[in-house]
Structure 1
């Protein structure tokens, strides 16, 4: 599959249609309005949406990522990586990961990090196949509104 990899800027007319649609397959509780709010705020925090388009100009994959300076060194953190269900296992995710690695190296990052849900075994196999290791446990606590 031939792919074109591009960053989708905040003012891009197709961001909600292309990127939002795919992010919402990964995050089904996120409404279209919620995606728009999240995308606007997160862009201000350095989030970049990198999309993969096929030869028919369909958005078939998205990586949401940002460079962070941490006490463990500069890293590229992947907030979300999603491939359209109809093209999974066709190399889209692998191509996006290759692009992210190039960008991380250019940005002087020492590593790529991401979180993956504990029950998402297909994603775990994908990340292990790319020589990623489980380096930490991510703990979370929901905060009730007061």
Structure 2
């Protein structure tokens, strides 16, 4: 994967090209809902969508935004991180998340945080063992 590059996705066409990968994590979204939400988040919430591209194909995507809270200070919240199922265990997620870390540091931010579904035990091992993340809280959700 020495030829892999990381690129921000901005146009509708670029964002839609990432949909098949994002769909592997966000299974509840159809293509139009995905596009609408990404565009709204980019406009209103400073959401960034980056892709790891290897040999012309998107193999992983990361969506994140800058946040400010009293708990974490100024930081990046990783909303979405997914590697194509056929490209897992090749260092794609590590490369893309390391890019997010560098991006955050370049912005003068203090940390990077994310949540991960309770059932995603392999992802938890990746974050804790490979990427040196600490489990610091639970995330709770109330449906309205």
* TM-score band w.r.t. shorter chain: over 0.9
TM-score, normalised relative to structure 1: 0.92
TM-score, normalised relative to structure 2: 0.93
Distance apart, 1:15 and its partner CA? 1.6
Structure 2 runs not aligned, ≥5 long? none
Q: What are the equivalent positions in structure 2 for 1:1-146 lying under 5 Å apart?
A: 1-2=1-2, 3-9=4-10, 11-16=11-16, 18-44=17-43, 45-55=45-55, 57-71=56-70, 72-129=72-129, 130-143=131-144
Distance apart, 1:101 and its partner CA? 0.7
Which whole-Å CA distance do the structure 2 matches of 1:126 and 1:4 have between them?
Answer: 21
Distance apart, 1:14 and its partner CA? 2.9
Which whole-Å CA distance do the structure 1 matches of 2:83 and 2:68 have between them?
Answer: 27
Which whole-Å CA distance do the structure 1 matches of 2:13 and 2:60 have between them?
Answer: 17
Which whole-Å CA distance do the structure 1 matches of 2:122 and 2:108 have between them?
Answer: 30
Distance apart, 1:26 and its partner CA? 0.2
Q: Is contact 1:76-1:104 (8 Å) kept?
A: yes
Q: Is contact 2:12-2:35 (8 Å) kept?
A: no
Distance apart, 1:108 and its partner CA? 1.2
- Deviation per CA, 1:77-133: give whole Å up to 9, x if none: 100000011010001000001101101101111110001000100100110121101
Q: Is contact 1:19-1:49 (8 Å) kept?
A: no
Which portions of structure 1, spanning 4 or more consecutive aligned residues, are displaced by more than 2 angstroms? none
Structure 1 runs not aligned, ≥5 long? none
Q: Is contact 2:6-2:52 (8 Å) kept?
A: yes
**What is the alpha-carbon root mean square deviation over aligned residues?**
1.0
Distance apart, 1:140 and its partner CA? 0.3
